[in-house]
Structure 1
Amino acid sequence: MIRGASLRGFARVVEELDGDPGEFMGRFAIPWQALTSEEGLIPITSHDLMLDAVARELRCPDFGLRLACRQDLSILGRLALAIQASSTVADALECASRFLFVHSSALSVGVEPDPRGCREVVALTYRKDLRESPYSPQAMELGLGLFHQVAMALVGSLAGLRAVELPHQPLSPVSRYTNFFGVDVKFGCPTAALRVERRLLDEEFRSADAVIRRLAVDYLTSHHTDPERLVSTHVRRALAGSLGTTPAAIGHVARLLAMHPRTLQRRLAEESTSFETILEDVRQDLALRYITTTDLPLGQVAAMAGFADQSGLSHAVRRWWGASPSEVRRRVRGTS
């Protein structure tokens, strides 16, 4: 999932391109409330597929970068307070890395050694967990573009920015990227990153406030649980990695997690969920991924999403989205 605030500015940019934001949101089953809700969550796969579809159908290859220009740190909600009140860039990055799961558990930022081997340079990385959702070029450009915008706003300038790296090949003319980031941009890299001089980590923020930061961190800690500490997270990953190859049985997953099935059921109940609920969510996510991002025959999609046959897939897809798998594939791709 991802917070609906990630779509702030979406409707205005689509309208400027003579598109209909309501049509796109309806096609991807994203409610209009997502554009105004600060805390509402939407499926990140649907969110990302919609960004790619808008860019493709409205012939706007730099859509992600355009949307990044309409956003700022405030889309992170209460996490933004903790970041702004941090004392240094390093302090802010540590906070963002620790709590970005509040915005989306599929996304992460970090500070890593320079991929080019320069000792005086570090990489500020931006990643999406592909176990949770497929790669999206537009969503990646939105995220890294916003990361750059936020850093500029907090530090005042990025005179120490050496280069930018993106995993995919350019969607727009390379000059569009260099004009946006102000430095050289490399493509086809292992990880999306801003390569910056190490000294920037020690830059102090004018907005630093130890009291506000402590209050914000205390709130985030008390109101949100890191998904890595939840049994349901590990059940979801176990199912996502095994559906289509092994039976979707609680006993099998319990063995993978070194638990008794009754213990697993009890732990999931404590997290206000169940094995059946997680299985349904995983099947839905995998079905959407394979139907919309591949040309696999629907019988093969059914097997890979853990259904006994194509009929089971069809019944489930109609229950989830009110259409057949073929209709969902055409709808998402914008084809007749």
Structure 2
Amino acid sequence: MAYVRSAGVRGVRSVIESLGGNADVLARRSGLPEGALDDDEILVQDVAIGVLLETAAAELHCPDFGLRVALEQDLSMLGPLAVAIQNARTATQALEMTSKYMFFHARSLEISIIDDPTGEPGVLGVRYGYRDNDVRMPPQAADMALLFVHRSISRLLGANYGLRSVLLPFQPKASPTRYRELFGAPVEPDSDDAVLRMPAALLDRPIESGGHTAQELALRYIERRVMSTGESMSERTRDMLRQSLDTGASTIAETAKLLAVSPRTLQRTLAREHTSFSAILDDVRREVATRLVTTTDLPLYQIASALALSDVTTFSQYARRWWGVTAREFRATAR
């Protein structure tokens, strides 16, 4: 048994309710903690997710339930990893980062590049599954995961990226027509793994939306999270602002995007932790300003820029509120 971020069940509520079911009852019966269907950051047992998907599919008579949920999901559910992937330079880099940092989303799962299981030259496989090869994903979970990966690749490389076929480690639950409609490629059952087969040449294809700064911020954030477990959202927000402030990313919308949550989720979670985005931003600005004013000779206009403030006049207003004197007077006193 392992734990994954509750982002993995994003979309489940809307699909259940569209079929006339009671999402909260099904979630509770499946062992999900309260709030997991509406919050991306709750730790959920992977077994509970599998039970929820299979139970919902059976009781709501919906064999393509996992596929429907995948249609409600996008890359943002991977958290900061999504920011890094979307700003990769090539498909190879995107897949390498996903393989390396997938633990941030779910420590027991992985995406890996494998040799084509059918042995066709010039073709490779993208496998999604448990790190332990002896553990199998439930059918609905595998459907959901494979369609999510396919849609993510389509977003990065284009809808017609060349998918050859989809390998499923079970007999298809939905109709072949449904799979073909969603994947645009044939589905082959009873494989050893859940695999998307595609041209090997795709690995060198550039991703036009790549942005180096955003990628570096996301990867640095993930690396720091590796060293600290159980961080609160306020700690994560503070950490991200420390890294991104001098790039001008100081709004709740920009910070939420780097944290890969919605601004509303960020506000709601910070409120539960008895703080707010504006309070954290002010603390981080004061912390950075104190260090730069007292330990460097940077001109005040440069410090204002590093604090993501519009000009020196605005910085002076902040300085009087923080220290009771102007920034120049504070610097002189510190010296």
TM range (shorter): 0.5 to 0.7
Q: In structure 2, what residue type is equivalent to 1:152?
A: S
* Higher gyration radius (CA): 2
- Return 5+ residue gaps in structure 2 as ranges: 230-335
Q: 1:106 to 1:12 in 2, by over 3 A?
A: same
Q: Is the 8 A contact 1:45 1:133 kept in 2?
A: no
Does the 8 A contact of 1:44 with 1:133 survive in 2? Answer: no
Closer, same or farther: CA 9–132 of 1 in aligned 2, 3 Å:
farther
Letter in 2 for 1:126: Y
Code of the aligned partner of 2:167: E
Aligned mate of 1:12, from 10, 14, 18: 14
Matches within 5 A, 1:99-178: 99-129=101-131, 135-178=137-180
Aligned match of 1:243: none
Out of 212, 216, 219, the position equivalent to 1:217 is 219
Match of 2:199 among 178, 197, 200: 197
TM-score normalised by L of structure 1: 0.65
Aligned to 2:4: 2
1:71-86 pair list within 5 angstroms: 71-86=73-88
1:29-81 Cα offsets, whole Å, 9 max, x none, are 31342123232211110111110010011100100000000000000011101
The residue identity in structure 2 corresponding to 1:85 is N
Distance, in Å, in 2 between the alignment partners of 1:95 and 1:51 is 28
1:218 and 1:79 map into 2 onto residues whose CA distance is: 11
Q: In the aligned structure 1, how far is the partner of 2:163 from the partner of 2:136? A: 29
In 2, are the aligned partners of 1:4 and 1:38 still within 8 Å (CA)? yes
Cα distance, 1:130–1:50 mapped onto 2, change above 3 Å: farther
Distance 2:228 2:203 in 1: 25
Q: How does 1:1-336 map to 2 (within 5 A)?
A: 1-129=3-131, 135-224=137-226
Residues of 1 paired with 2:130 and 2:71: CA distance?
21
Separation in structure 2 between the aligned mates of residue 131 and residue 42 of structure 1, nearest angstrom = 21
Aligned-pair CA distance for 1:223: 0.9
Amino acid across the alignment from 2:211 = D
Normalised to the residue count of structure 2, the TM-score between the two structures is 0.65
Kindly provide the amino acid, as one letter, of the partner of residue 143 in structure 1: A
Cα separation, partners in 2 of 1:210 and 1:164, compared to 1, 3 Å:
same
Report the 3-state secondary structure (helix = DSSP H, G, I; strand = E; otherwise coil) of the residue aligned with 1:94: helix
The aligned residue for residue 264 of structure 1 is: none
Q: Distance in 2 between matches of 1:11 and 1:135?
A: 21
Aligned CA RMSD, in angstroms, stands at 1.9
Unaligned runs of 5+ in 1: 228-336
* Maintained 8 Å contact 1:48/1:139: yes
What's 2:300 paired with?
A: none
Q: Show CA shifts across 1:236-292 (max 9, x none).
A: xxxxxxxxxxxxxxxxxxxxxxxxxxxxxxxxxxxxxxxxxxxxxxxxxxxxxxxxx
Q: Measure, in 2, the Cα distance between the counterparts of 1:76 and 1:131.
A: 22
2:168/2:189 contact within 8 Å kept: yes
In structure 2, distance between residues paired with 1:226 and 1:166? 36
- Quote the offset at 1:12 in angstroms: 0.9
Provide the C-alpha distance between the structure 2 equivalents of 1:226 and 1:125, rounded to a whole number of angstroms.
29
Aligned residue type for 2:76:
S
Contact 1:73 1:80 in 2 (8 A): yes
Cα distance, 1:180 vs structure 2: 1.1
Q: Distance in 2 between matches of 1:211 and 1:223?
A: 18
1:214 deviates by 1.6
**In 2, Cα distance between equivalents of 1:40 and 1:200:** 35
In structure 2, C-alpha distance between the alignment counterparts of 1:4 and 1:156, rounded to whole Å: 28
**% of aligned pairs identical?**
35
Shift of 1:23: 0.8
